[in-house]
Structure formats: structure tokens, C-alpha cells
């Protein structure tokens, strides 16, 4: 059994990009491995945010994850800021993290570009992410493609720490990608992302799903109904791969390549399959009570913290700190 760790920001909305790129995998992995799934609120505050809504967005994300199929009997679901050891390990890892590597991170450059004043926390973001995973000595990290560079840096940080303080202490975590590792937004231009407003939410109603899917971008080669297309170049096909059974995917691909179907035909089939998957998720979310969610997160943090403390104790010892003031 591998130890699995992944995180998601409390954006307040779980969209089908998160779901197909990551969360759907998490639901599978909890049956085979020892899994921790974390709502990373400390990461979320590295960008402009509204303090008044952070707690609610965190609860909403927890509701989304549980409704999507994470089972607290099978995995640990918790909130990052509830386990202060994340922040401690973050600090201890900064001393082996090369500044140049942080400055080279694509996500940092993208986000920094959009800000007049760049907070140091944004630069440090990948160090905190490394702390998240290494704190539990996790080896498998199910994420979308956008996280690969952060994973590579995480391995570098682990290697450097090990080289200095204890060979073999931290494992080298590997990414675990899904087939839909990069879902584009409905505009077909850039990655689907809440901040870009190009998403379909896991909680959209059937009518909304169809309203959003109908005008969604497809393979640009299909200018008219008669032009054949290439499924691999079509974002709608990527979404089919997440929601439709293999026979349907094969059929849709054939109809696209031969122009047997128009894009609207293809989208109708997809909408039906999406609605079939998402309706039970939406209904489960509506039934989940706030009390139950609080209880799940509290229990999750206690379990995570017990593991985190063991690692931190060893890290402190190997780094040579004076013993005596450990958390009781």
C-alpha cells in the first residue's frame, strides 16, 4: 500500500476540471491505498482573497469532496491550517530550497505577473506544497498536469534535505495523472479554472450544464457540420473521456473523424452522461449537514496530526534542535 497525499484549494466551487483531473482519481485511490486529502487554505491565502468567506469556502469544498465520493472511513480528509506542522515543516524546508528554482516556477511567474506587488508567500507556495506531501512521507500524488513542475521541485527539496540531514528519510513523491490531466475551459483556450469563469461546476443543474456545454469550443477544424474533426484536439472529447463509457467514447470518436455527427450531437450524448454522474453528487451535497462536515474535518485533522507529529519530531532531531519544548 502506498501513502497518497493530494490537496485542493478552497475555491468554494469544485469544477469538472478538478474532478476529472484529480478528485475522480482520489475516489478510486482511497480503495487501494493509505490516503490523505487536504483542503489547502494556507495556500489559498497567497493570492488576494476575502477573509469573510474563507471559512465558508473551506466548508463548501469539504462538502464537495464528500459528495464526490471521498469516504472518511477510507481516507483522511482535513484542513491544512488545522495541522500546524505543515507550517513548521514549510519553514524547515525553505533552508534547502534553491531560490532560483522558485523563481522559475511557471505558476509563480503567471500569478506574479498579474500583481503589482508580489508577496513572498506566493514565491514560497511550492515549498509549502512540498511540506504537505513530505510531512506524511507520501509517495504518490494524484494531481492534474499543471502541478508537475511543483512535484519536480518537491523531489529536489527532498533530495537536498536528505543529502544534508538523513539519506533516505524523505521518499521521492511521484505524480499520478488521470486521462483528463488537462481539461480546458469551455472557451477551449486555457485551463478550466474558477478564477477564469470558464467552468462547469459539479453542482450545476442539468439545465445549466446544457446551457454551458452547448456553445463550448470544439476542434476548430470543424467549421461546418460536414468538416471532419480530430477527437484528440477537442476539449469536449476530453470531457467525454471522463464521463462516458469506453464504447461511447469509441463511437463518438468515429462519428467525429467521419463527420457522421455534428458537434451538437456529440455534446447531447455528453450532457446526458454528465448529468447521470453529477446528479447524485449534487443531491448528496444538498443532504450533507454542516455538523457532519465539521465532525469529519475535526477527526481528519486529529488523525493527520498524529502522523505529522512523528515526522516533525524526527526532522527536529536530525536537524539538531535542542529537545525539550515539543508539543505535548
Among 88, 146, 152, 265, binds ligand AMP (CB under 6 A): 146
CB 247 within 8 A of CB 297: no
> Interaction with ligand AMP in 181-200: which residues (CB under 6 A)?
181-183, 191-193
Site for ligand AMP in 52-111 (CB under 6 A): none
Q: Is 181 a catalytic residue?
A: no
CA angle 157, 98, 121 (to 5 degrees): 90
Determine if 147 is a binding residue for ligand AMP (CB under 6 A): yes
Distance CA 153, CA 93 (A): 12
| Ranges within 134-163 binding ligand TRP (CB under 6 A) | 141, 143, 147
User: Does 129 sit near ligand AMP (CB under 6 A)?
Assistant: no
CB distance 11 to 25 below 8 Å:
no
Binding test (CB under 6 A) with ligand TRP, winner from 9, 25, 124, 311:
9
Q: Of 137, 191, 212, 303, which one is the catalytic site residue?
A: 191
**Half-sphere exposure of residue 158: CA atoms within 13 angstroms, side-chain side:** 24
**What is the side-by-side strand order in the sheet with 3-8?**
75-79, 34-39, 3-8, 140-142, 174-176
Interaction between residue 143 and ligand AMP (CB under 6 A): yes
d(CA 266, CA 256): 8
Element (H, E) at 236: helix 235-243
- Spatial distance between the Cα atoms of 277 and 42, rounded to a whole number of angstroms: 31
Contacting residue, 40, 96, 135, 297, with ligand TRP by CB under 6 A: 40
Q: 183 touches which of ligand AMP, ligand TRP, none (CB within 5 to 8 A by kind)?
A: ligand AMP
**Nearer of residues 144 and 229 to ligand AMP, judged by Cβ:** 144
Cα distance between residue 210 and residue 277, in whole Å:
14
* 212 annotated active-site: no
Q: Which residues are part of the catalytic machinery? A: 111, 191, 194
* Residues found near ligand AMP in the complex (CB under 6 A): 8-9, 11, 17-18, 21-22, 143-144, 146-147, 181-183, 191-193
Amino acid at each position: 500500500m502506498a501513502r497518497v497525499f493530494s490537496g485542493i484549494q478552497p475555491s468554494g466551487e469544485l469544477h469538472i476540471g478538478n474532478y476529472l483531473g484529480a478528485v475522480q482519481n482520489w475516489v478510486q485511490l482511497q480503495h487501494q491505498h493509505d490516503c490523505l486529502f487536504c483542503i489547502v487554505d494556507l495556500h489559498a491565502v497567497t493570492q488576494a482573497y476575502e477573509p469573510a468567506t474563507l471559512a465558508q469556502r473551506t466548508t463548501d469544498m469539504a462538502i464537495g469532496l464528500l459528495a464526490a465520493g471521498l469516504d472518511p472511513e477510507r481516507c483522511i480528509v482535513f484542513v491544512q491550517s488545522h495541522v500546524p506542522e505543515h507550517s513548521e515543516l514549510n519553514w524547515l524546508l525553505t533552508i534547502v530550497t534553491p531560490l532560483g528554482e522558485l523563481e522559475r516556477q511557471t505558476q509563480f511567474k503567471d500569478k506574479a505577473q498579474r500583481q503589482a506587488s508580489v508577496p513572498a508567500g506566493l514565491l514560497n507556495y511550492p515549498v509549502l506544497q512540498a511540506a504537505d506531501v513530505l510531512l506524511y512521507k507520501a509517495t504518490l500524488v494524484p494531481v492534474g498536469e499543471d502541478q508537475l513542475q511543483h512535484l519536480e521541485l518537491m523531489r529536489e527539496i527532498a533530495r537536498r534535505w536528505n543529502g544534508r540531514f538523513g539519506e533516505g528519510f524523505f521518499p521521492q513523491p511521484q505524480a499520478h495523472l488521470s486521462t483528463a490531466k488537462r481539461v480546458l475551459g469551455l472557451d477551449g483556450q486555457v485551463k478550466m479554472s474558477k478564477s477564469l469563469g470558464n467552468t462547469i461546476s459539479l453542482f450545476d443543474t442539468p439545465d445549466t450544464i446544457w446551457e454551458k456545454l452547448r456553445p463550448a469550443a470544439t476542434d476548430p477544424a470543424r467549421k461546418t457540420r460536414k468538416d471532419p474533426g480530430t477527437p484528440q484536439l477537442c476539449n469536449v472529447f476530453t470531457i467525454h473521456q471522463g464521463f462516458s463509457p469506453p464504447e461511447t467514447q469509441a463511437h463518438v470518436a468515429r462519428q467525429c473523424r467521419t463527420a457522421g455527427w455534428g458537434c451538437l450531437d456529440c455534446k447531447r450524448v455528453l450532457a446526458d452522461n454528465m448529468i447521470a454522474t453529477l446528479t447524485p453528487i449534487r443531491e448528496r451535497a444538498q443532504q450533507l449537514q454542516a455538523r457532519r462536515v465539521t465532525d469529519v474535518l475535526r477527526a481528519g485533522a486529529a488523525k493527520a496530526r498524529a502522523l505529522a507529529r512523528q515526522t516533525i519530531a524526527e526532522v527536529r532531531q536530525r536537524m539538531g534542535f535542542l529537545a525539550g519544548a515539543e508539543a505535548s
